[in-house]
Amino acid sequence: MNLLAKPGLAISIGYASDKGVKADNEDCFGAFIPDDRQLDYKGIAIAIADGMSGSEAGKQASHYCVVSFLSDYYSTPDSWTVKQAGQKILSATNSWLYSQGQVRYQSAKGMVSTLSILVLKSTTAHIFHIGDSRIYRLRRGNLEQITRDHRVWLANDKSYLNRAMGIEPRLEVDYKSLPLVMGDVFVLTTDGVHDFIDGQTLKKQLQATVDLPELASQIVRQALANRSDDNLTCQIVRIDALPEAQEDEILRRHANLPFPPPLEAGMLLDGYRIEAELHASKRTQIYRAWDTRSDRQVVLKTPSVLYDDDPHYIGHFLHEEWAGKRVRHDLVLKVLSTDRVKSCIYYVTEYLQGPTLRQWMDGHPQPDINAVRDMVGQIAKGLRAFHRMEMLHQDLKPENIMFTHEGVLKIIDFGSVKIAGIAELTPLEADHEESVLGTLNYTAPEYHLGQRGTVKADLFSLAVITYEMLNGALPYGPLPEKPDKHNLAKLVYVPSFYHNDMVPIWLDGALKKATAINPQLRYDDLSEFIYDLGHPNPAFLNARQQLPLLERNPLWFWRGLSLLSLLANLILLYLVGK
What number is the average pLDDT over the span 63-78? 95
Task: Tell me what the mean pLDDT of segment 446-474 comes to.
Answer: 95
- Where b means 16+ CB within 10 Å and e means fewer, 257-271 reads eebbeebeeeeebbe
Please report which confidence band the pLDDT of residue 434 belongs to, taking 50, 70 and 90 as the band edges.
very low
Lowest mean pLDDT, pick from 80-84, 255-259, 384-388: 255-259
Would you mind telling me the total number of residues written for the chain in this entry? Answer: 578
CA-closest candidate to residue 145, choices 135, 158, 155: 135
- Name the band, by pLDDT with cuts 50, 70 and 90, for residue 257: confident
* Whether 79 and 206 share a structural domain: yes
In a domain, 291, yes or no: yes
Q: What is the pLDDT of residue 563?
A: 72
pLDDT tens digit string along 555-565? 555 566 667 77
The proportion of the chain whose per-residue pLDDT surpasses 70, expressed as a percent, equals 88
Q: Are residues 345 and 361 in the same domain?
A: no
The pLDDT score that the predictor gives to residue 479 is 87
- pLDDT at residue 576, rounded to an integer: 67
* pLDDT number for residue 297: 96
The pLDDT, as a whole number, for residue 553 is: 54
Q: What is the mean pLDDT of residues 431-459?
A: 82
**What is the per-residue DSSP string for 416-460?**
T-EEHHHHTT--HHHH--SS-SS-GGGS-HHHHTTPPP-HHHHHH
Q: Which amino acid is at 172?
A: E
Point out which residues pair with 298 in neighbouring strands. Answer: 289, 350
Q: What's the chain's average pLDDT?
A: 87
434 and 477 within one domain: yes
Domain limits at 297?
A: 268-350
- Of 350, 373, 407, which residue constitutes the final position of a domain? 350
Q: Quick one: average pLDDT of 347-370?
A: 95
232 lies in a domain? yes
Q: Is residue 559 part of a domain?
A: no
Q: How many CB atoms lie within 10 A of CB 431?
A: 11
Q: What is the CATH number of the domain that holds 466?
A: 1.10.510.10
Task: Please tell me the least confidently modeled range out of 274-283, 306-315, 329-338.
Answer: 306-315
Q: Is residue 86 predicted with pLDDT exceeding 90?
A: yes
At residue 421, the pLDDT reads 83
Which of 228, 205, 200 is CA-nearest to residue 216? 205
Answer whether residue 504 is part of any domain: yes
DSSP secondary structure code for residue 483 in this structure: -
- Flag whether pLDDT at 250 surpasses 70: no
Both 336 and 453 in a single domain?
Answer: no
Please say which residue of 350, 376, 396 terminates a domain.
Answer: 350
Lowest mean pLDDT among 124-133, 145-154, 395-404, 463-472: 145-154
Residue 106: what pLDDT? 61
Q: What is the pLDDT of residue 428?
A: 46
Q: Rounded to an integer, what is the distance from CA 159 to the centroid of its chain?
A: 39
Mean pLDDT of the 465-484 span? 93
* Secondary structure of residue 332 in the 3-state scheme: strand
pLDDT band at 186; cut points 50, 70, 90: very high
Residues 340 and 363 in one domain: no
The Cα–Cα gap between 327 and 525 comes to 19
Q: Are residues 334 and 187 in the same domain?
A: no
pLDDT of 557 reads 54
- Asked whether residue 109 falls in the same domain as residue 182, the answer is yes
Q: What angle do CA 563, 568, 569 make, to 5 degrees?
A: 100
Residue 431 confidence (pLDDT) above 50: no
Mean pLDDT of 381-407: 95
Domain presence at residue 370: yes
Q: Which of 32-41, 417-426, 568-577 shows the lowest per-residue confidence on average (mean pLDDT)?
A: 568-577
The C-alpha atoms of residue 251 and residue 422 are separated, in whole angstroms, by 9
Confidence of residue 551 (pLDDT cuts 50, 70, 90): low
Average pLDDT estimate for 128-140: 95
Closest CA to 419 of 336, 316, 514, 345: 316
Confidence at residue 58, expressed as pLDDT on a 0 to 100 scale = 87
Contact predicate 333/410, CB 8 Å: yes
pLDDT at 440 over 50: yes
- Beta carbons of 14 and 236 less than 8 angstroms apart: yes
Sign of the torsion angle spanned by Cα atoms 384, 386, 390, 391: negative
DSSP annotation of 365 reads: S
Distances (CA, A) of 412 to 78, 153, 283, 404, 530: 21, 58, 16, 11, 21
Give the lowest-confidence range in 245-259, 399-413, 443-457, 519-533.
Answer: 245-259
| Confidence band for 424, pLDDT divided at 50, 70 and 90 | confident
Structure-model confidence comparison of residues 305 and 252, the more confident one = 305
Q: Is the pLDDT of residue 507 over 70?
A: yes
What is the predicted pLDDT for the residue at 255? 57
pLDDT for the residue numbered 315: 79
Band of pLDDT at residue 318, cut at 50, 70 and 90:
confident
**In angstroms, rounded to a whole number, what is the distance separating the alpha carbons of residues 448 and 395?**
13
When pLDDT is averaged across residues 35-62 and rounded to a whole number, the result is 86
- Please indicate, yes or no, if residue 120 is contained in any of the structural domains: yes
Does residue 251 lie within any of the structural domains? no
Looking at the fold, whether 315 and 458 belong to one and the same domain comes out as: no
**What pLDDT shows up at residue 355?**
94
CA–CA separation, 397 vs 458, rounded Å? Answer: 10
Banded model confidence at residue 282, pLDDT cuts 50, 70, 90: confident
Q: What is the pLDDT of residue 122?
A: 86
CATH code at 17? 3.60.40.10
The domain that holds 319 is classified in CATH as: 3.30.200.20
pLDDT over 80 at 131, yes or no? yes
Average pLDDT for residues 296-320, to the nearest whole number?
Answer: 86
Q: How confident is the model at residue 190 (pLDDT cuts 50, 70, 90)?
A: very high
Q: What's this model's pTM, rounded to 2 decimal places?
A: 0.79
Domain boundary among 204, 223, 241: 241
pLDDT at 520: 96
Can you tell me the distance from the alpha carbon of 533 to that of 372, in angstroms, rounded to the nearest whole number? 10
What is the CB-side half-sphere exposure of residue 564 using CA atoms within 13 A? 6
Mean pLDDT of 368-378: 97
The answer to whether residue 244 scores a pLDDT higher than 80 is no
360/97 Cα distance (integer angstroms): 53
pLDDT given for residue 464 in this prediction: 98
Instruction: State the total domains in the chain.
Output: 3
- CA distances for 131 relative to 93, 113, 167, 414, angstroms: 15, 7, 10, 42
Task: Please report whether residue 250 resides in a domain.
Answer: no
Kindly state whether residues 497 and 456 are assigned to the same domain.
yes
Same domain for 440 and 383, yes or no, is yes
Selected residue with higher pLDDT from 340 and 72: 72
Residue 233 scores a pLDDT above 90: yes
Is the same domain home to 325 and 389?
no
- Tell me which amino acid residue 540 is: F
Say yes or no: 81 and 42 in one domain. Answer: yes
